[in-house]
């Protein structure tokens, strides 16, 4: 019996170590992506207030996710639980601001030229809804630690698309720019599966559901993008704005001058 308890403790420690390290790498990926974009002169702080609010809230989530994993790694479960309720409320402004920024970019006709405008309209909110669903499921299963950690991990992985989009040469990956960034987000759950196999020789079923939700996001995005529903949605969103003159499924021409995001 003592041996079994000891083995379970070792497994638990290994599990915690993976998720702490994973959270650190995720945070570094976000920082690297956006720092690289700024260093290359492709982003600016001269952005509308809505964009700044969006950035603050999303970077806040990265900090919360990292802190939560560090707290568990250091044994501060009490603080982790209290911060968890703040994190739960944090999800809703993230979804709202993310959708508002997407709509604003569509209406201004400022979708990045390597994305189809209609696909951009669909994949941004779809990613946020899937993230929220996975995160809420993780909260609901907070007493089942192994499920809780893995579902949170998959939800956070989805949010790394914009960071990978700034690290990958997306203009060269057209017409599969978004799909390429999405594929990169799957690297983290894949690493989780490999960690499970190395640690116990088995893959926890939570990965199946988490990755399944991520792939469902991809499939639904493509299905809506190339359907009459997507076209109708695009017309409703862009009606009466400069974006209405942009063909929904054609790649926009690169704007003249330096390619800068966060324009006012």
Contact 167, 33 (CB under 8 A): yes
Rounded mean pLDDT of the chain? 89
| pTM for the structure as a whole | 0.89
Tally the residues of the chain. Answer: 264
Answer whether residue 172 shows pLDDT above 50. Answer: yes
Tell me which residue has tokens 């909110």: 125
**How far is Cα 110 from Cα 41, in angstroms, rounded to an integer?**
17
- Our CA angle for 204, 205, 208, nearest 5°, is 120
Residues near 52 by beta carbon (within 8 Å), at least 6 away in sequence: none
* pLDDT (tens digit per residue) in 58-67: 999 999 999 9
Burial of 3 (0-12, 13-18, 19+ CB in 10 A): exposed
Reported confidence tier of residue 252, pLDDT bands at 50, 70, 90: confident
The answer, yes or no, to whether residue 106 has pLDDT greater than 80, is yes
Predicted confidence band of residue 255 (pLDDT cuts 50, 70, 90): low
Angle at 180 between CA 230 and CA 52, to 5 degrees: 70
Mean pLDDT of 153-166: 96
HSE-up of 176 (CA within 13 Å, CB side)?
Answer: 6
Percent of the chain with pLDDT over 70: 88
Q: Which residues pair with residue 262 across a beta bridge?
A: none
Per-residue pLDDT, averaged over 183-189, amounts to 98
- What are the tens digits of pLDDT across the range 128-149? 999 999 999 999 999 999 999 9
């Amino acid at each position: 019996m003592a041996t079994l308890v000891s083995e379970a403790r070792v497994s638990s420690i290994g599990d915690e170590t993976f998720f702490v390290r994973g959270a650190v790498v995720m945070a570094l990926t976000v920082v690297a992506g956006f720092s690289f974009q700024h260093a290359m002169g492709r982003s600016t702080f001269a952005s509308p207030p809505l964009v700044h609010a969006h950035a603050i809230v999303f970077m806040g989530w990265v900090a919360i996710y990292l802190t939560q994993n560090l707290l568990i790694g250091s044994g501060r479960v009490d603080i982790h639980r209290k911060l968890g309720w703040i994190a739960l409320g944090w999800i809703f402004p993230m979804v709202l601001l993310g959708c508002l920024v997407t709509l604003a970019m569509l209406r201004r006709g400022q979708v990045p030229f390597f994305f189809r405008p209609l696909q951009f309209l669909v994949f941004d909110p779809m990613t946020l809804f899937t993230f929220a669903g996975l995160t809420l499921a993780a909260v609901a299963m907070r007493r089942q630690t192994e499920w809780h950690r893995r579902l949170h991990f998959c939800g956070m992985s989805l949010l790394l698309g914009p960071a990978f989009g700034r690290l990958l040469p997306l203009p060269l990956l057209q017409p599969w720019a978004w799909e390429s960034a999405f594929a990169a987000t799957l690297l983290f759950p894949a690493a989780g599966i490999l960690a499970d196999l190395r640690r116990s020789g088995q893959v926890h079923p939570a990965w199946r559901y988490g990755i399944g939700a991520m792939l469902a996001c991809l499939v639904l995005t493509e299905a809506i993008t190339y359907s009459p529903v997507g076209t109708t949605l695009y017309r409703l969103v862009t009606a009466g704005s400069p974006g209405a003159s942009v063909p929904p499924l054609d790649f926009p021409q690169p704007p003249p001058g330096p390619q800068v995001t966060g324009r006012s």
